[in-house]
């Protein structure tokens, strides 16, 4: 059984452009699959459809066409899918006045973890992500972005997902925090055999963490291959050159459309 | 059978999680809680003092004071239930946590019920404290009061309040700011038509018609009868059965409305973080 099977997945949004309503296609018939334990990275500029893909797979959006299955379950089977999936997004969204421990306890309860279980697991997992023990009870608003992102990773892992969706987990982090998060992603794969879909802006990160790399451009998946094969395919020496050759654009930052 | 038991256990733990989360928030905003409590006391006093200016006999003044106090306290209780249900959804959207809540394997009825349960427990504590403090301030005499009946009526009414709260909670799901505004408007309409500080009979006919579908109308009438006349549950059956009826409709309707709102938000990508 494939970990992820996506077939002609489509999603569009309606945006207001002055008085007019404009239909924007965020994903245009995406097709790919993932093996259990595999890590793939999806590269794309802002607005290319990366976050839309992650939100569809995490049941936060309804598709307009096509299908997606996670370990054999259609994403419409929300209850089954939600037990298997968790997500870390670019924004470490928390109740800012609550502490890391309180935020994690809240998230864990939704996955059936009792107070007795979380009393042991939360400190354990916070230690693993390198969260300082002395700050466990501090309000999230007093923590740096890098530290908040570690708590976001801890939140995802606390629920033991077999599919982890990482939507730009290291964007905006300082180099040290970025390396720590990347190390942790590697560790999760090795220890838990978690399947990982990583959406990133960071070409080097994609190359070191993923077995296959996909280039998503304007809602279309242009390729999904190992880094070396992508370079070969586009006659490029670096992934950045390959991205440019594939999309006709440099790897820059634009405004997210969806 | 075992699968059902496991699923039920998960739902119960999730329910506890929602209540626990709201408790954490109350603790973290303790100074705001104190400020709101003092504001509610001041607001209630300013309403109840109206009875002092009415130049009534001591017995009549005691009665009017109690009527106004019950109105102010029940209104603040209702406000707390609406606020917790509606504002928590708006809050989760501002913080961005709504996506994590909605992608968790917890059923929506249990999620909303958890918020409702916390709101009722918290509202009861706040309302009892306000009632006690203001009653003591005015030295009110309630020799016939049947607090058991009053609590029973309030408990039954709370089911309807939660149902209506679920309906207003869907608004910030679609638009955080506008949704909160609409929630306030819905609450305001209920304030006018339910006879919070005056009998419903003084309202124009069309407003009286609206008051018949407001659970607050029956809650206020039943609680006033219980506290002023010592009415038993049998005596206030005329207020209890409409509350049971409204509650039976309001909860499924509230869940249905919320579910529709959730699907709309998922279809149009409205769950994304705001602000």
Task: Write down the pLDDT at residue A255.
Answer: 42
Residues of B in contact with A96 (CB under 8 A): 95
| Nearest CA distance, A226 vs chain B (angstrom) | 31
User: B20 and A106 in contact (C-beta within 8 Å)?
Assistant: yes
Residues of chain A short of pLDDT 70, as ranges, are 250-258
8 Å CB contact of B269 and A89: no
| pLDDT tens figures, B228-258 | 999 999 999 999 999 999 999 999 999 999 9
CB of B137 within 8 Å of a chain A CB? The answer is no
Task: Write down the pLDDT at residue A166.
Answer: 94
SS (H, E, C) B111-133: HHHHHHHHHHHHHHHHHHHHHHH
Measured CA to CA in angstroms, residue A63 lies from A44, A197, B181 at distances of 20, 18, 30
8 Å CB contact of A93 and B102: no
User: What is the helix (H) or strand (E) element at residue A40, kind and residue range?
Assistant: strand A39-43
In a domain, B36, yes or no: yes
CB of B23 within 8 Å of a chain A CB? The answer is no
Task: Write down the pLDDT at residue B55.
Answer: 86
Dist. CA B98–CA A38, nearest whole Å = 29
CATH 1.10.10.10 assigned to domain A4-247? The reply is no
Q: How many helices (H) and strands (E) does chain A have?
A: 9, 10
Among the listed residues B76, B75, B85, the one whose alpha carbon sits nearest the alpha carbon of residue B117: B85
DSSP A99: B
| Nearest CA distance, A137 vs chain B (angstrom) | 11
Percent of chain B with pLDDT over 90: 73
**Gyration radius (Cα) of chain A, Å:** 18
CB of B87 within 8 Å of a chain A CB? The answer is no
Task: Write down the pLDDT at residue A27.
Answer: 95
* Overall number of domains in chain B: 1
The set of residues, in sequence order, having a beta carbon less than 8 Å from that of A189 and lying 6+ positions away, is A37, A39, A196
User: What is the helix (H) or strand (E) element at residue B157, kind and residue range?
Assistant: helix B147-174
CB of A108 within 8 Å of a chain B CB? The answer is yes
Measured CA to CA in angstroms, residue A229 lies from A202, A207, A211, A213 at distances of 18, 12, 11, 10
**Which of A64, A106, A114 to substitute to test the interface with B, most B CBs within 10 Å?**
A106
Task: Write down the pLDDT at residue A252.
Answer: 58
In a domain, B275, yes or no: no
8 Å CB contact of A14 and B268: yes
Nearest CB neighbour to B105, from listed A61, A94, A111: A111
Give bridge partners of residue A6 from the DSSP assignment: A32, A68
8 Å CB contact of A82 and B9: no
| pLDDT tens figures, B104-116 | 999 999 999 999 9
| Nearest CA distance, B198 vs chain A (angstrom) | 41
Q: How many residues does chain A have?
A: 258
| pLDDT tens figures, B209-231 | 999 999 999 999 999 999 999 99
In a domain, B162, yes or no: yes
Confidence check: pLDDT of B183 > 80: no
Phi, psi (degrees; rounded to nearest 5) at A93: -80, 120
Q: Which two tokens stand for residue B179?
A: 């949704």
Give bridge partners of residue A15 from the DSSP assignment: A22
**Distance from CA of residue B164 to its chain's centroid?**
9
Range of the domain at B258: 2-268
Q: What is the DSSP string of B241-275?
A: HHHHHHHHHHHHHHHHHHHHHHHHHHHHT--S---
Task: Write down the pLDDT at residue B273.
Answer: 60
B 179-238 near A (Cβ less than 8 A): none
Strand, helix or coil for residue A60 = coil
Does residue B181 or residue A257 have the better pLDDT?
Answer: B181
Task: Write down the pLDDT at residue B34.
Answer: 94
How many alpha carbons lie under 13 Å from residue B241 in its C-beta half-sphere?
4
Task: Write down the pLDDT at residue A258.
Answer: 40
Nearest residue in chain A measured CA to CA from B271: A60
| pLDDT tens figures, B91-147 | 888 888 999 999 999 999 999 999 999 999 999 999 999 999 999 999 998 989 999
CB of B12 within 8 Å of a chain A CB? The answer is no
Nearest CB neighbour to B104, from listed A61, A111, A139: A111
Task: Write down the pLDDT at residue B113.
Answer: 93
In a domain, B273, yes or no: no
Dist. CA A72–CA A59, nearest whole Å = 15
Give bridge partners of residue A41 from the DSSP assignment: A198, A213
User: What is the helix (H) or strand (E) element at residue A116, kind and residue range?
Assistant: helix A115-128
The set of residues, in sequence order, having a beta carbon less than 8 Å from that of A108 and lying 6+ positions away, is A117, A118, A121, A122, A158, A159, B17
Exposure class string for A60-71: b at 16+ Cβ within 10 A, else e: bbbbbebebbbb
| pLDDT tens figures, B26-54 | 999 999 999 999 999 999 999 999 998 88
Nearest CB neighbour to A93, from listed B97, B104, B266: B97
Share of chain A residues as helix, strand and coil, in percent rounded to the nearest 5: 40, 30, 35
- Neighbour-count burial of B117, counting CB atoms closer than 10 A to its CB (0-12 exposed, 13-18 middle, 19+ buried): middle
Dist. CA A121–CA B7, nearest whole Å = 21
| Nearest CA distance, A167 vs chain B (angstrom) | 13
Residue for token pair 């309302």: B127
In a domain, B199, yes or no: yes
The pLDDT of B164-191, averaged and rounded, is 82
| Nearest CA distance, B4 vs chain A (angstrom) | 13
Nearest residue in chain B measured CA to CA from A63: B267
Which ipTM did the prediction report? 0.90
Task: Write down the pLDDT at residue B217.
Answer: 95
């Amino acid at each position: 059984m494939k970990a992820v099977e996506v077939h002609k997945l489509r999603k569009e949004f309606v945006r207001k452009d002055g008085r007019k309503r404009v239909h924007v296609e965020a994903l245009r018939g995406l097709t790919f699959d993932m093996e259990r334990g595999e890590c793939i990275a999806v590269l794309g500029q802002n607005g290319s459809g990366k976050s839309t893909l992650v939100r569809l797979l995490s049941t936060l959006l309804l598709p307009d066409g096509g299908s997606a299955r996670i370990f054999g379950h259609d994403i419409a089977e929300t209850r089954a899918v939600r037990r298997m999936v968790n997500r870390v997004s670019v924004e470490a969204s928390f109740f800012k006045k609550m502490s890391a421990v309180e935020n994690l306890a809240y998230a864990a309860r939704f996955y059936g973890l009792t107070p007795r279980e979380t009393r042991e697991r939360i400190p354990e997992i916070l230690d693993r992500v390198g969260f300082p023990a002395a700050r466990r009870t501090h309000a999230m608003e007093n923590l740096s972005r890098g530290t908040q992102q570690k708590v976001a990773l801890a939140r995802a892992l606390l629920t033991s997902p077999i599919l982890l969706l990482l939507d730009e987990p290291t964007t905006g982090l300082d180099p040290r925090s970025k390396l720590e998060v990347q190390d942790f992603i590697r560790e999760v794969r090795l220890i838990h055999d978690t399947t990982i879909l990583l959406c990133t802006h960071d070409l080097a990160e994609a190359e070191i963490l993923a077995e296959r790399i996909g280039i998503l451009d304007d809602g279309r998946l242009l390729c999904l291959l190992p880094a070396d094969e992508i370079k070969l395919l586009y006659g490029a020496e670096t992934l950045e050159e390959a991205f440019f050759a594939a999309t006709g654009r440099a790897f820059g930052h634009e405004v997210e459309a969806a | 059978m075992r699968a059902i038991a496991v699923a039920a256990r998960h739902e119960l733990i999730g329910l506890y999680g929602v209540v626990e989360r709201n408790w954490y928030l109350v603790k973290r905003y303790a100074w705001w809680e104190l400020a709101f409590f003092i504001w509610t006391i001041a607001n209630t006093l300013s309403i109840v003092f109206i009875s002092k200016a009415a130049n009534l006999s001591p017995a009549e003044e005691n009665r009017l004071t109690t009527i106004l106090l019950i109105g102010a306290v029940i209104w603040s209780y209702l406000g707390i239930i609406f606020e917790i249900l509606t504002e928590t959804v708006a809050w989760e959207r501002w913080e961005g946590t709504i996506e994590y809540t909605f992608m968790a394997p917890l059923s929506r009825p249990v999620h909303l019920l958890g918020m409702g349960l916390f709101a009722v427990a918290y509202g009861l504590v706040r309302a009892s404290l306000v009632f006690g403090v203001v009653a003591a301030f005015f030295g009110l005499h309630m020799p016939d009061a049947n607090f058991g009946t009053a609590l029973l009526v309030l408990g039954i009414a709370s089911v309807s309040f939660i149902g209506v709260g679920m309906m207003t909670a869907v608004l910030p799901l679609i638009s955080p700011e506008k949704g909160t505004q609409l929630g306030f408007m819905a609450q305001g309409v209920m304030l006018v038509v339910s006879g919070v500080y005056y009998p419903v009979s003084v309202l124009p006919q069309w407003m009286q018609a609206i008051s018949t579908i407001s659970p607050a109308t029956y809650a206020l009438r039943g609680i006033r009868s219980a506290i002023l006349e010592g009415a038993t549950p049998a005596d206030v059956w005329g207020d209890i059965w409409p509350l049971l009826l409204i509650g039976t409709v309001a909860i499924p309707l509230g869940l249905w409305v919320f579910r529709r709102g959730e699907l709309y938000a998922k279809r149009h990508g409205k769950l994304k973080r705001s602000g």
